[in-house]
Chains A and B, each alone.
Chain A
């Protein structure tokens, strides 16, 4: 029998190595075929989960504590699905996009494959150390992708990103070391009953180190300094991958630890991420409103949207808060991938990258502007988009617990998002004489539109996702 969990990790590794062997710039077709199969596998895993509960797999027949266990519950399968759903259209986009950028495409496919393998492995890992290894895999592959352009600007952004990500995972690793010193195990299911509210201070220190390291990797304000240059300077498909998925990986890990082993220690500290999240919403939106270049605008919008993810922490462990967080991860993942894809088309067509230069673009590229607008609807949180559903659930959960301040932050963020989205749209719809707009392959426009439409239409199909999230991990605790 085919175990989808194993193949979700092996398959991207296989096509990544194959693409590397084929040589620079090649390997798009096996990658797209592999990604299509991965999407089916993720769906199969989700269906299996709905029928028979959480899944587990001992690699090579060696169970924990000696071997490495893979585990899938509702949360991890939801993230796996998001990854495969976003990557497949992006891969088709990238294949067309890189046809005209040979230099930047040199190692895109192998690096993207390693990145996806790392992400899938991260979502399926069940012990803290394995999570560290996958975290590093994701980080190093992402740095490689940022550097792919090879110019001084990209290398600078890549180096800054590299040091930030290494610092983050270093802090996480020290936390793992302290946990192992305290309990003699790093397996999450084994740790669950061991960590109690009376845990020694060293465990609190470990939790703090891991949280700080992961917040740095998620680019939560004020640790966001590395994100805009890295995401704004990379080629469009890379920016989309990084903004939609990579930052979500460390967020997932925070959530996993917060709901899992560190749940008894959470308490009042939950307001710290929420406070930083609210600050991120305002600061990121403000910078997006001021940004001169369109990709910087979209990158700062990521900083703002990541803030929402952290607003849920004081509301956990209620089911509504978790659902709001994952729905926001989906909404932002799909919408931001669409937005970067659309921005890539706009830059390619107009030949320059400032917001001012977009004047009149709507006449030439209506499809792309439509995609940008749809993605904007999700970021603003207008119905019926997934972003609306996420904000609705967040506000509902906040008001149910009497934390109206969180609801205010979420609503204000939606208004600010409207300002920067309309800044782009207004400029594009100006009736200005258009310079020479280069023709752009239709495939690029359609893929951007597909992602944007998915981010809006998901709002109508949220129930299935919520159902999936409800599947608890092996051993009862969710």
Chain B
């Protein structure tokens, strides 16, 4: 097993943990952290799987940089919304879904 493959498997594990976190955790801040874990896992898979030889492949690295920018923007938006939500309701958990 090459080191690249180890990174990829670690990334897949992180991604799975992140998905579980986003789905199962109610606390909004921890949910945002879980989303970031998920994103990092995907990035690790992207860089790890592409690592075929000793020389680094620049294309996935460029993609990961772009992906990090997107993740930062999404996190900022989520944090902004959560702050507002906390300010309005004083809670850190979303209410149980009510459709009507």
A: which residues have CB within 8 A of B?
65, 129, 132-133, 136, 140, 143-144, 147, 150-152, 155-156, 158-160, 162-163, 166-167, 170-171, 173-174, 176-178, 180-182, 184, 186, 225, 228-229, 287, 291-293, 296
Contact of A181 with B84 in the complex, beta carbons under 8 Å: no
Beyond A136-B70, A152-B88, A163-B78, list 16 extra A-B contacts (CB 8 Å): A129-B66, A132-B67, A143-B81, A160-B94, A162-B74, A162-B78, A166-B78, A167-B19, A167-B23, A170-B42, A173-B42, A177-B43, A181-B46, A181-B48, A229-B99, A296-B100
> In the complex, A291 Cα to B98 Cα: how many Å?
12
Contact of B42 with A177 in the complex, beta carbons under 8 Å: yes
CB within 8 Å of A: which B49-83 residues: 49-50, 57, 59-60, 63, 66-67, 70, 73-74, 77-78, 81-82
Contacts of B50 in A (CB 8 A): 180-181, 184
Minimum CB–CB distance for B81 against chain A, Å: 5
User: What are 30 A-B residue pairs whose CB atoms fall within 8 Å in the complex?
Assistant: A65-B59, A129-B63, A129-B66, A133-B70, A140-B74, A147-B84, A152-B85, A156-B94, A156-B95, A159-B85, A159-B94, A162-B77, A162-B78, A163-B31, A163-B78, A167-B22, A170-B39, A174-B12, A177-B42, A177-B60, A178-B45, A180-B46, A180-B59, A180-B60, A182-B49, A186-B63, A228-B99, A287-B99, A292-B100, A296-B99
Contacts of B39 in A (CB 8 A): 170, 173
Contacts of A150 in B (CB 8 A): 84
Minimum CB–CB distance for A142 against chain B, Å: 11
Contacts of B38 in A (CB 8 A): 167, 170
What is the size, in residues, of chain B's interface with A at 8 Å between Cβ atoms? Answer: 43
Contacts of B77 in A (CB 8 A): 140, 143-144, 162
A140, A155, A167, A293: which contacts B100 (Cβ < 8 A)? A293
Interface check B97, CB cutoff 8 A:
yes
> In the complex, A184 Cα to B46 Cα: how many Å?
10
A147, A163, A173: which contacts B22 (Cβ < 8 A)? A163
Contact of B82 with A159 in the complex, beta carbons under 8 Å: yes
Query: Interface code B15-51, partner A: CB below 8 Å = 1, 0 otherwise?
Result: 1001100110000100100010011011101101110
